[in-house]
Chains A and B, each alone.
Chain A
Amino acid sequence: MEADRDLVRKIAALAMLELSPEEEAEFARDMNLIMGYMERLSEVDTHGIEPMEHVLPLENVLRPDIPEEFSRSDDLLKCAAMVKDNCYVVPSVVDAL
């Protein structure tokens, strides 16, 4: 893979990160360097090996369906930058994205 600024821009759009032109150049450079190295992994023979999604052999960790109120729910809204009528405020979302 050869990373250029177009690729960085595309990924930044997916990750919702605004980057300055300098950052775009820097990250393109980093990506080439780092991914160039990390792609060494493709040389490892993993034939017949199952992907390991969890290190612990845990299963069926399920919770009983019993309601419990979060006691400090007023403090939750206080964390937000913009609130109106007990709601979080965002720029208009009509066909926004």
Chain B
Amino acid sequence: MGDLWAGLSEAFRLLVTLDSDLVEITLRSLQVTLSALLIGSAIALPLASFLAVRRFRWRRGVIAILNALMGLPPVVVGLVVYVILSRSGPLGVLGLLFTPTAMIIAQVIIIVPLIASIAHQSLRDLWSEYHDLLISMNVTQGQKMRTLLWDARRALLTASLAGFGRAIGEVGAIMIVGGNIDHATRVLTTAIALETGKGDFALALGLGIILVGLAIAVNLCIHWLGRTEQEGRW
């Protein structure tokens, strides 16, 4: 109990004093995760739409693989990205290891299957509703995909938010590929792991509380943006 109270008061202190390190790692957390979310959504949503609309031979297989990859262990992703980006790995010349870019790459790999899977489920339902109409209107495959994406945008927002939740709280992969370097690749989750390692539970808990608050704030913010857009429309 004592640790929890200490954590709460530490979180309060960090917030009130606007601790400059805290601001820095919080902004970096947001930068990495929102970039990964943007890129991941740009890949996952069209992919989900494609899988809903097109019938091709390996479709079921691809969907099964996507569903399985939803549970991809971040540590494994981190390790694979690490090996690939290492100076002695195939993409070593890019010099990306231990940079925020490497962390974004790892997070994209982690969240694409998740977003695509959830998005595919809602797009598949919408497609069964729209199927006859769009076939009869003789629209192109691209138009079908775009129509589904647009009309299911609220459900897709939820899919993306699930991706955000997974990415912002992720520590295993970004610790490995980012290296948790102070002022370069340290983010909230890796800072929490570090402080826990030092036995400074109050600071670790304080950061944890801020992380949870940040996740909730971003969720509310995106939902709110989505709703104002709806109100303007209807």
Is A bound to B? no
B-side residues, CB < 8 A to A, are none
